[in-house]
């Protein structure tokens, strides 16, 4: 695929781990300290029922560590009232010493909304709510009279995640970090990978919407599979149920899949930076140790 827009100079790599499991206070602190020791720059927490509550978990992560930033990946906007969210964000930013990064998305799992007794809404309604949330949150946190106040000004860095044009336009207008999953949700809320060319088109669409920005956003990507050693094609096939219609070659070329030696995977990450512009990579908790080898290779 041709790239019609020139690209700014690459940022340094950043690496994050999305913590999906809680545990005791001692277990949580130890896990966060291990992430720091392995070289991760950001400790993230999602916003799903049945998983750790984001904001208290992030405060605890910051207290247990010294260097990593902490963030939400990503808050389900449908769970939150903007005024109440502004209070949570400001308090957490204060309590973490200005280390918070705020990730927001529309939400895509109807069953979670049903369990919480909250409306799910159509795709348009969910994006409308996300836009209202971003706009009101920005207004509240930038107000010098807002209490509590954030540690960072005018607000913590904002990450927005999504693939549709309306969300990408919103991201281009407001976000410091644009997050891509390379996937689309089906009717049940399950994510299905789109192909590498389709992902490249989505990134190109975002760049078009962001062409007038004075400062480019950081581009984030969520890696789904990190498989050290073994048969690369067999490992890639593990994601086939989540990637209907994609060939093995497409899976091996996809930034959601890293396979081979640490050096092989580091080269794949560099290649994805060249093709897509991704410099900020997130892995899921179960891939934390395996991907640490790639971090060491990229920084070695």
Residue 68 lies in a domain: yes
The whole domain housing 109 covers: 14-223+269-299
Q: Is residue 140 part of a domain?
A: yes
Residues β-bridged to residue 227: 259
- How much is the pTM? 0.94
Residue 249, phi-psi category: left (phi > 0), alpha (psi -120 to 50), beta (remainder): alpha
Helix then strand count (H, E) for the chain reads 11, 13
Cis peptide before 282 (omega within 30 of 0): no
Give the mean pLDDT of 1-13: 60
Position 7 pLDDT exceeds 80: no
What's the gap between Cα 206 and its chain centre? 16
Which percentage of the chain shows pLDDT scores above 70? 96
Supply the CATH number for residue 96's domain: 3.20.20.30
CA-CA distance, 238 to 243, in Å (whole number)? 10
Q: What is the mean pLDDT of residues 200-225?
A: 96
**For residue 113, with 0-12 CB atoms within 10 Å meaning exposed, 13-18 middle and 19 or more buried, which class applies?**
buried
**CA–CA separation, 160 vs 177, rounded Å?**
7
Q: Residue 215: how many CB atoms within 10 A of its CB?
A: 8
**Looking up tokens 């994609």, which residue turns up?**
246
Proportion of the chain above pLDDT 90, given as a percent: 86
The number of C-alpha atoms within 13 Å of 239 and in the hemisphere containing its C-beta is 30
**Around 185, how many Cα atoms within 13 Å sit in the side-chain half-sphere?**
16
Q: What are phi and psi of 96, to 5 degrees?
A: -100, 5
Mean confidence (pLDDT) of the chain: 94
| Cα–Cα dist 131/219, whole Å | 20
Angstrom distance (rounded) from CA 167 to CA 165: 5
For 80-98, how does the pLDDT look when each residue is reduced to its tens digit (9 = 90+)? Answer: 999 999 999 999 999 999 9
The whole-number pLDDT of residue 6 equals 46
**Could you tell me if residue 202 is inside a domain?**
yes
Lowest-pLDDT range, 158-162, 166-170, 187-191? 187-191
Structure tokens at 239: 């994601």
pLDDT tier, 4 (very low <50, low <70, confident <90, very high otherwise): very low
In a domain, 181, yes or no: yes
Residue 243 covered by a domain: no
Q: Beta partners for 69?
A: 42
Q: Is the pLDDT of residue 42 over 90?
A: yes
Q: What is the C-alpha separation between 207 and 217, in angstroms, rounded?
A: 10
Distance between CA 159 and CA 217 in Å, rounded? 9
Q: Other CB atoms closer than 10 Å to residue 111's CB: what's the count?
A: 11
Decide: 239 and 224 in contact? Cβ < 8 Å: yes
* Number of domains the chain is built from: 1
Dihedral of CA atoms 254, 259, 262, 265 in degrees, nearest 10, equals -10
Q: Has residue 207 been placed in a domain?
A: yes
Token couple for 289? 């140790």
pLDDT of residue 215 exceeding 50, the answer is yes
């Amino acid at each position: 695929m041709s790239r019609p827009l020139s690209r700014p100079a690459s940022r340094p790599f950043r690496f994050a781990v999305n913590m999906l499991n809680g545990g005791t206070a001692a277990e949580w602190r130890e896990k966060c300290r291990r992430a720091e020791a392995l070289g991760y720059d950001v400790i993230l927490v999602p916003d799903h029922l049945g998983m750790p509550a984001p904001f208290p978990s992030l405060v605890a992560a910051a207290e247990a560590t010294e260097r990593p930033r902490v963030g939400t990946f990503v808050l389900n906007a449908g769970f939150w009232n903007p005024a109440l969210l502004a209070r949570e964000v400001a308090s957490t930013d204060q309590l973490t010493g200005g280390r918070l990064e705020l990730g927001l998305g529309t939400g895509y799992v109807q069953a979670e909304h049903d369990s919480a007794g909250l409306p799910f809404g159509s795709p348009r309604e969910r994006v409308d709510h996300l836009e209202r949330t971003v706009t009101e949150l920005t207004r509240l946190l930038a107000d010098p009279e807002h209490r509590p106040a954030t540690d960072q000004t005018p607000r913590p860095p904002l990450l927005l995640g999504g693939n549709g044009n309306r969300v990408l336009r919103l991201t281009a207008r407001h976000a410091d970090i644009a997050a891509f999953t390379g996937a689309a949700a089906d009717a049940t809320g399950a994510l299905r990978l789109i192909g590498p060319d389709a992902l490249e088109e989505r990134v190109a669409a975002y760049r078009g919407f962001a062409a007038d920005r004075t400062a480019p956003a950081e581009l984030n990507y969520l890696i789904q599979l990190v498989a050290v050693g073994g048969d690369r094609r067999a490992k890639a096939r593990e994601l086939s149920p989540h990637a209907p219609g994609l060939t093995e070659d497409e899976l091996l070329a996809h930034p959601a899949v890293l396979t081979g030696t640490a050096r092989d995977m580091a080269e794949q990450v560099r290649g994805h930076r060249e093709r897509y512009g991704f410099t900020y990579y997130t892995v899921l908790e179960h891939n934390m140790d395996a991907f640490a080898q790639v971090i060491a290779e990229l920084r070695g």
